[in-house]
Amino acid sequence: MNLLCGDVGGTSARLATWRDSTPSAGLADEHHYSSAEHDSLATILQRWLSDTGARPSAACLALAGPVVDNRCVATNLPWVVDGELLAQTLGFPVRIVNDFYAAARGVTLLGPADRVKIGGGEPVPGAPIAVLGAGTGLGEAFIVGGRVVPGEGGHCELGAASEREARLVAWLVATEGRASWEHVLSGRGLVRLARFLALERRGPVPAWLDEPGAPARVAATDPEAVSWFSELYGAEAGNMALRVLARGGVYLAGGIAPRVLPALQAGGFRRRFEAKGKLGAAIADVPAFVVTHPALGLLGAAAELGAVA
């Protein structure tokens, strides 16, 4: 078994060979590449093949963006990725899937050590599952009846639950043209929250908010922004739980949740998760989990290729 698995986002492309049917031991030849520094995914793939000397027999590549007929128009990159064209270039079959399709496939293979629970009861076997994750953008997917249903719900309109959030929505509309969940639940979203809070305080807006490493710096130095981010994360996670009554659990994937885990555990996330008026009781027992598995997208891509089940 020699299969290429890829998890490609707006920030980085993570590529590896899957050589074993065991999730903990299957990865080899893993390399990370900056997505923005390359003009196409084909260029990155050729570089990976050169760097590793690997000779895959097939590939599954998970990308951020809607996938139709094995073709993806990337959401946060100026790329159009066509699996059939890549296959002609590389010499082996290439399957393109949405990144959160792969994440959802990976979630079904997680063990207890791969996740941290944030409230609720126990997951109900066979019940719907919701998966969302803030990273470069905000990905979302569901598992219903054992079938993964990918979506782009992160781009839906952001709702406000307070006067401050109403001001935030108005500010986003003025500065971004609209207000979506991804505008606040992403790396750039965390920076937007910090910037808005600085404006609300009528103090200076730190110049470093415009620098590439700003999301990590906000996460480390601005507890008010991180706390608000965690509350908003809970609000949208609860929305997803309501949409399919996800008694199988709501899973937080993506790179940000593990980094702000203490804030997610502090109470605001769960309070907003369950703050759904008369239907709050309907999801009070729905468990939420932060995924800590280091290669969820690659695991899901491998599962799509039949390498792990």
Q: 3-class SS at 26?
A: coil
Residues 6+ apart with CB under 8 A from 81: 41, 61, 63, 71, 72, 74, 96
pLDDT tens-digit map of 258-305: 999 999 999 999 999 999 999 999 999 999 999 999 899 999 999 999
Determine the distance from the C-alpha atom of residue 70 to the mean position of all C-alpha atoms in its chain, rounded to a whole number. 20
For the chain, which residues make up each domain, given as ranges? 3-103+295-304, 111-292
- Residue 22: its pLDDT value, please? 57
| Residue type (1 letter), 15 | L
Lookup result for tokens 């200076």: 204
CATH class of 3-103+295-304: alpha beta
CATH class of 111-292: alpha beta
Task: Give me the tens of pLDDT residue by residue for the chain, a chain 309 residues long.
Answer: 689 999 998 889 999 998 765 555 578 899 999 998 999 999 999 999 999 999 999 999 999 889 999 999 998 889 999 999 999 999 999 999 999 999 999 999 999 999 999 999 999 999 999 999 999 999 999 999 999 999 999 999 999 999 999 999 999 999 999 999 999 999 999 999 999 999 999 989 999 999 989 999 999 999 999 999 999 999 999 999 999 999 999 999 999 999 999 999 999 999 999 999 999 999 999 999 999 998 999 999 999 998 665
- Residue 23: its pLDDT value, please? 53
Residue 3 backbone phi and psi in degrees, to 5: -120, 140
Helix boundaries (H) for the chain: 41-52, 83-90, 99-107, 163-176, 187-200, 214-221, 223-244, 261-265, 268-274, 296-304
